[in-house]
Structure 1
Amino acid sequence: MTIVDFFQQSAGKWLSQRTSQNLSSMQSVAGTTDLWIEPLGADDREVVELQSKYGTDPALFQCGARIRWETKPTLDNRKESGATILVALGSKDSPQEGKLLQKSTLSPTTVGASRYTIGTDEAVTLITESDTMYAEERLWFASPNLRLRTSFIKHNNGTNLASFCSEIRMGNA
């Protein structure tokens, strides 16, 4: 599997069921979110802007996606929504590794970059690091319409979060 294959297989509408655990306070939170994943080409305005902001070589472009999300309201939380633009850039050294640029509507002036690797088990691992945190997320398909995701986030202040998501394809984007 390549990153392009992964993005193409991820396209569509998904129902995501998430359980998160704050490992420091031992608090658990569960929630449900609708996701819409739409492929973006190299000529998409937001893709071009994000690559320009990072000064990346357009020849390294592999694929892009717009991910829109909307949480389902619960007794404790109100409905929230947002979107993220992702741009996958390949590595000159390995087709199974690269960089993932991202921009979120939650913080439109903040852009970020992660590293991705694709294992022999066809799982995609994303690693994001900053001065204040380390995050590792692993995504894989159990079947064409069932995607699984785990993540671990470690903050410098001692807070550690772990989560598991099962995502069921509900249709086309």
Structure 2
Amino acid sequence: MTARLQLAQSIDAPLKVAKFFQASEGKWRSERRYYTLPDGETKEMVSSIAIRFLPPGCEELIKLAQLHGLDDPQILSCGAEVSWDSKDSVSGKKQSKGSTLFGVAGNTLYRDRGFATPKPVTAEYYFTNDQTMCLRTEYNGSVFEEELKLVGTNYRTRQTIISRAGEQQMIGQYLEKRLS
């Protein structure tokens, strides 16, 4: 990527992510399939997801900035609160329930918790186009590469690849349908 393109993406990124979070706001049904590598064992889940856009200066973003020890508690330009309730698609057994906060400053996405840790984490993000956001998060020796894509106004797709020590461990694929 050229330095000029990187600069343009850096300048546009906070505006793009705000539009992306606003377009994602609402209630969704997420159908997920996880593939464990290399054996290919699969697990299917269904989740109810609620996404709420967080404007600059809101209480949640100030707390998130403080959690990360950022000097300026107003630095996060926008964010989202995502809550979920998941169950196994086959057995119906409850899997997880919770929420997480996302906040943006520059090309960094701050979270109050990670996918596999309750500790605060950061991710670098970029857009391949206005509808597709990509994230890269690293912690505890693992790398999480994610792509979230808005498909029209009523669908989102997501794909997550989890690697450890340079080897892919799991692939998660998601189809999310807007409920409201």
Q: Which TM-score band (shorter chain)?
A: 0.7 to 0.9
The aligned counterpart of 2:99 is 83
Tell me how far apart the structure 1 counterparts of residues 94 and 166 of structure 2 sit (CA, whole Å). Answer: 27
TM-score by length of 2: 0.80
Q: CA deviation at 1:80?
A: 2.3
Match of 1:130 in 2: 139
* Post-superposition offset of 1:119: 1.2
Taking the TM superposition and a 5 Å limit, the aligned residue runs for 1:22-37 are 22-37=36-51
* Unmatched 5+ stretches in structure 2: 1-14
Whether the 8 Å contact between 2:65 and 2:75 is mirrored in structure 1 is no
Task: Return the letter of the residue paired with 1:18.
Answer: R
1:16 maps to 2:16: no
Question: What is the deviation of 1:104?
Answer: 3.5
Amino acid at match of 2:26: G
If each structure's strand is expressed as a fraction of its own residues, which one has the higher value? 1
Q: Given the superposition, is the C-alpha separation of residues 41 and 130 from structure 1 closer, same or farther in structure 2, using an over 3 Å criterion? A: same
List runs of 5+ in structure 1 lacking aligned partners.
91-97
Tell me what 2:170 maps to: 161
Q: State TM-score, norm by structure 1.
A: 0.83
Say which structure, 1 or 2, has more relative contact order (CA 8 Å, 6+ apart): 1
Equivalent position amino acid for 2:78 in 1: C
Aligned pair count reads: 164
Q: Structure 1 or 2: larger helix share? A: 2
Equivalent AA in structure 2 for residue 81 of structure 1? K
One-letter code aligned to 2:91: L
Provide the identity percentage. 24
* Deviation, structure 1 residue 143: 1.1
Alpha-carbon RMSD across the aligned residues, in angstroms, is 2.5
CA distance in 1, matches of 2:126, 2:166: 27
